[in-house]
Amino acid sequence: MAVSSPTPARSRIPGRAALLAAVVVAVLILFAGATGLLPGALALAVGVGAAGLGASAYLVRTALDIHHTDRSFVACRGAGFVGMGALATALTVLVPWWAPSDTVGWVTAGLGLATGCYVLGASLLPGAARNWPVRLRRAFDGVGLGVSLGFAAYLIPPDGQDRPAALPAVLIAAGGVSIVTVVVLRARPRPVPAVWCGSGAALVLASLAALAEVVALDVAGPAVPLLGLPMVAGLAAAVAGGSRRDLPVPPARPRNPDQYLASYPLLAIPAAIGVIAAVWHLVTGPGFDTEGIIFGLVMVSVLVMRELLVVRDIRRYAGRLRVAEAHFRSLVAGATDLTLVLDEQLVVGWQSPAAARLFGLRDDEVVGRGFGELIHPEDAADALAVIGSVLAGEHEGGPPVLVSARMRDGAQLWRDTESTISDQRGVPEVAALVVHVRDVGERRHLERTLHRLAYLDQLTGLANRRALMRDLLALRRKAGQHGTLLVIDLHGLAEVNDSRGREVGDAVLIEVARRLRALIGGEDVPARLAGDEFAVLTTESAVPAYALATRIVTALGEAYQLPGAEVCLHTSVGLAELSGAADSDEVLRHADLARQRACQLGPDRVEWYDPDVEIQLHRRMELEHQLLGAAGRGELDLVFQPVTGLRDGRPVGVEALLRWRHPELGTILPDEILPIAAALGITAELDEWVLDEACRHLSTWAGGDDDFWLSVNVGPRELLTARFPERVATTLRRYGLAPERLVVEVAETWIAEDVPAIVAALSGLRKLGVRAALDDFGAGQTSLSHLRRLPVDMLKLNAVLVGEGSEATTGGGPAVLDVVVSLARRIGLEIVAKGLETPGQIERAAAAGCRYGQGFALERPAPAERIEAYLDSHRAERGQ
């Protein structure tokens, strides 16, 4: 018999059919001897001898083939020794026919030789034993079994004449059969061919012992050849099992050790039989003879030796168990997980020593209690449901199941834990659920910290841009297209940081966040997008959202009372509905565009997004990009609107008005240019260009009188610069103009920003001889009393003071016009009525006492060439 290695067709041993034919012939010969056709001894010798020689040849050739093809030395020796046992069997059956003087002795000797060969062959079978110490131990176990059975067989007959005549042969056969039986039964794995081989060897040995007894008793007749039938059957079974080559490969390390303690009671039943036989013999017989005493001493010696070996093995295994237990305790005690063992009712039967160190739990607090009692009530249902699925076998064969739950520790505090549930009910030594509990509180705290860092603004505690976009996406999925996004821009925070420091600016931002939280609803999400940009995501519709934006503007516009500082900010708010965009990014873009539009229109404004807003913003951004180089490209131009006398119609001056001749967008008026220039910070450059270009044209006109003047508009920042008077003087000298021919106009709406500084700047211009005019008087909140303080020479009235119909009542109607003109004339100011669009307005302004007028009803703005022609025509009229 050999290991499993498929044998090629060319290496298979021929002769199996011949062996089968030899077995059939042997059986026929034995039957012939039993019927008297042949002598019994001859039939036994020829029949069993032929079968034994055939089996031996077949097994030896099999062993040689295994050795040459599979290179399995142990397997080939096993088959070879079984073949030698078959040969010894064939030689032994020749003894009765040959009939020497000591027939029983020769049969006993042959039986001993066959027994040794069969025992060695069975011990070398694949899976029988790993090494020689194990083989010797199993042989000793078989010897003990055989001695016990032999002792019982020796004592049971009460009369010594009835004992076996060939007792040594019987004892040898009993020992051989016992050893082969032990070897085969303890083979791991125990293949069927090994059982066949062992059974055949045991049957042959038992038949040989019977033959020795027959020879010793000198029995003749058909009994002799009939003993050959079990021998032939045993040889056939041994050959069938010993020559098999398709056996499974034995594992490198059997699952159960050879000295597994559960197999040691093998001699219990035979020893009990020996003891019972001894008691029976004492009761029924005359006593023990010398042979019986020696037999009993041998049995006792074997059993004692067997027990000593068992004790040694038990001690060795106990030592291994102590070492393994010490290792287990050290591993469990130092583990970072708490291990619990639960029965099927989820009652804790054991907890690891790490429980006291990790969770502060004593055994009396845990053992014997239900696992659900240790879990937080809010998490218990889910956790027990998962464990129930494990008990139901839903996760059989899969990885351990993970359960997340809060667990109570020894201090009655709830800890975040993760537990793995392993079903060990199929392991007899465990037969329970094993739960490994790990404290994940630090990890959860780190996760929450990372979440806070990832989704919260660290200064204000509001949601950041990422969190806002996440909640915006969730709101769109939950509520569909309902909801509004507000984007809030604070104006003036940069000045606070520059003038008062970052600490004050941060305190303002924190207060802004507090006010936002106080204004919004429970489902609204406040967020900080950038340094001075905030946002609010609300589920409200358009009207409530606009009302919320208005409240935000009011609340954030209130003064911020901080230690040692009072800060005031302005706010711009842009709104966009979720329904007006395809995705979250587009919603945020729409709201931001509305915010930019609100910033352009002025502080504390609230604007909705609509497509026109985006068009206007794109136009604004394009103009901002192109205005910086407009003067260098020659795109800036001036038009001039004459100022004429209302009594004689004679032109007395012109006002220079800026125009941008955009190559694609056409003419752009100052109302759109000046806010862009202010945002870009180039108002001073534009004013300087207008002043220089206007003076150049004035110097080239020949149609005006020496008292014909030119007025230019100047912004407050340019007017208040220290070098502005010097620049004006330089320009006048460059073009040879008298200072009194230049009029600098300052809008009334700018006066209230800083009256003393404006007064000082205008006084500086007066020293140069340049005249000043207060433009658009009546449009702002300048008090009439300020006219006495302001060093101006001219007052240009806003069109609202000279309007017709309903417009006349705005600002007080004609009565106000009369008062203003009267006061201005009293303090020596020249008055120009602006915005005269109809003859009626001209008459009203003249009737009120206005000396000069300006408007479309008198003359429209025109380029410099047309103004020069206009002046020439008036000079020609005066010459006539």
**pLDDT (tens digit per residue) in 39-84:** 877 887 787 888 888 888 887 777 777 666 655 555 567 777 887 8
CA distances (Å), 402 to each of 111, 349, 395, 420, 438, in order? 66, 20, 11, 5, 11
Dihedral over alpha carbons 543, 548, 554, 559 (to 10 degrees): -170
Burial class (CB in 10 A: 0-12, 13-18, 19+), 152: buried
CB 437 within 8 A of CB 348: no
SS (HEC) of 637-668: EEEEEEEEECCCCCEEEEEEEEEEEECCCEEE
Contact 194, 241 (CB under 8 A): yes
Q: Spell out the residues 6+ positions from residue 243 whose beta carbon is closer than 8 angstroms to its own.
A: 1, 13, 58, 59, 62, 79
8 — pLDDT class (breaks 50, 70, 90): very low
Please name which of 417, 395, 283, 399 lies closest in space to residue 339, comparing C-alpha atoms.
417
Sign for the pseudo-dihedral over CA of 823, 829, 834, 840: positive
CA distances (Å), origin 592, targets 523, 588, 614: 22, 6, 10
Residue 436 in tokens: 């490994």
Which region among 75-89, 187-201, 263-277, 812-826 has the lowest average model confidence (pLDDT)? 263-277
Q: What is the DSSP letter of 13?
A: P
Residue 709 φ/ψ, nearest 5 degrees: -110, 165
Give the pLDDT mean for 662-669: 85
| Predicted TM-score (pTM) above 0.95 | no
| Model confidence at 807: pLDDT above 50 | no
Confidence of residue 15 (pLDDT cuts 50, 70, 90): low
What is the C-alpha separation between 296 and 275, in angstroms, rounded? 9
Residues 472-488: what's their mean pLDDT?
Answer: 80
Separation of CA 257 from chain center? 45
Listed range (56-65, 275-284, 383-392, 542-551) with the worst mean pLDDT: 275-284
Per DSSP, the three-state class of 527 is strand
> Predicted confidence band at 252 (pLDDT cuts at 50, 70, 90)?
very low
- CA dist 453 and 852 (Å) reads 68
Pick the closest to residue 367 from 351, 389, 384, 383 (CA basis): 351
Strand 570-577 versus strand 605-608 pairing type: parallel
Highest mean pLDDT among 200-209, 341-350, 813-822: 341-350
Mean pLDDT, residues 485-498: 88
| pLDDT for position 258 | 43
- If pLDDT is split at 50, 70 and 90, which confidence band does 512 have? very high
Residue 132 has pLDDT above 70, yes or no: no
Q: Which range, of 2-16, 174-188, 299-313, averages the lowest pLDDT?
A: 2-16
- Average pLDDT for 264-287: 68
Contact between 5 and 245 (Cβ < 8 Å): yes
Overall residue count recorded for the chain in this entry: 880
- Report how far residue 415's alpha carbon sits from residue 408's, in angstroms, rounded to the nearest whole number: 6
Per-residue model confidence (pLDDT) at position 4? 41
Nearest to 773 by CA among 824, 736, 812: 824
Q: Tell me the per-residue pLDDT of 218-229, one tens digit each, with 9 for 90 and over.
A: 777 677 788 888
Segment 423-432 shows an average pLDDT of 79
Share of the chain above pLDDT 90, in %: 8
Q: List, in order, residues 6 or more apart from 450 with CB less than 8 Å away.
A: none
- pLDDT value at residue 788: 74
CA distances from 616 to 483, 682, 714 (A): 25, 21, 27
pLDDT class for 253, splitting at 50, 70, 90? Answer: very low
Distances (CA, A) of 137 to 168, 259, 313, 319: 23, 9, 12, 21
Contact 473, 566 (CB under 8 A): no
CA distances to 326, 419, 550, 586 from 434, rounded to whole Å, are 20, 10, 62, 53
Three-state SS sequence of 823-877: HHHHCCCEEEECCCCCHHHHHHHHHHCCCEECCCCCCCCECHHHHHHHHHHHHHH
Task: Say if residue 123's pLDDT is above 70.
Answer: yes
- The confidence score (pLDDT) of residue 6 equals 42
pLDDT of residue 127: 60
Quick one: angle between helices 290-333 and 132-155, nearest 10? 140
Arithmetic mean of pLDDT over the chain: 79
Residues 59, 238: Cα–Cα separation, whole Å: 9
pLDDT above 60 (res 810): no
Q: What is the pLDDT of residue 105?
A: 77
For residues 348 and 389, the answer to whether their CB atoms sit within 8 Å is: no
Is the distance from CB of 787 to CB of 824 less than 8 angstroms? yes
Share of the chain above pLDDT 70, in %: 82
DSSP state of 249: P
Instruction: With CA atoms as reference, report the closest residue to 241 among 294, 188, 192.
Output: 192
Amino acid at position 278, single letter: A
Looking at residue 574, its pLDDT comes to: 92
| 659 in Cβ contact with 669 (< 8 Å) | yes
845-878 per-position pLDDT tens digit: 888 889 899 999 888 999 988 988 888 887 776 6
pLDDT interval class at 546 (50, 70, 90): very high
Average pLDDT over residues 502-506: 87
Question: Measured on CA atoms in the order 424, 430, 431, 436, is the torsion positive or negative?
Answer: negative
Residue 190 is predicted with a pLDDT of: 55
Provide the pLDDT for residue 103.
Answer: 75
Q: Is the Cα torsion angle 380, 381, 382, 388 positive or negative in sign?
A: positive
Residues 772/766, Cβ–Cβ less than 8 Å:
yes
Could you report the per-residue pLDDT of 680-717, keeping only the tens digit for each?
Answer: 888 888 888 988 998 998 888 865 566 789 999 988 77
Greater confidence, 701 or 324?
701
pLDDT at 832: 92
- Which of the four pLDDT bands, split at 50, 70 and 90, describes residue 813? very low
Q: How far apart are CA 709 and CA 642, in angstroms?
A: 10
Helix, strand, coil shares of the chain as percentages rounded to 5? Answer: 60, 15, 25
Which of 530, 553, 550, 529 shows the shortest CA–CA distance to 540? Answer: 550
Distance CA 288, CA 160 (A): 11
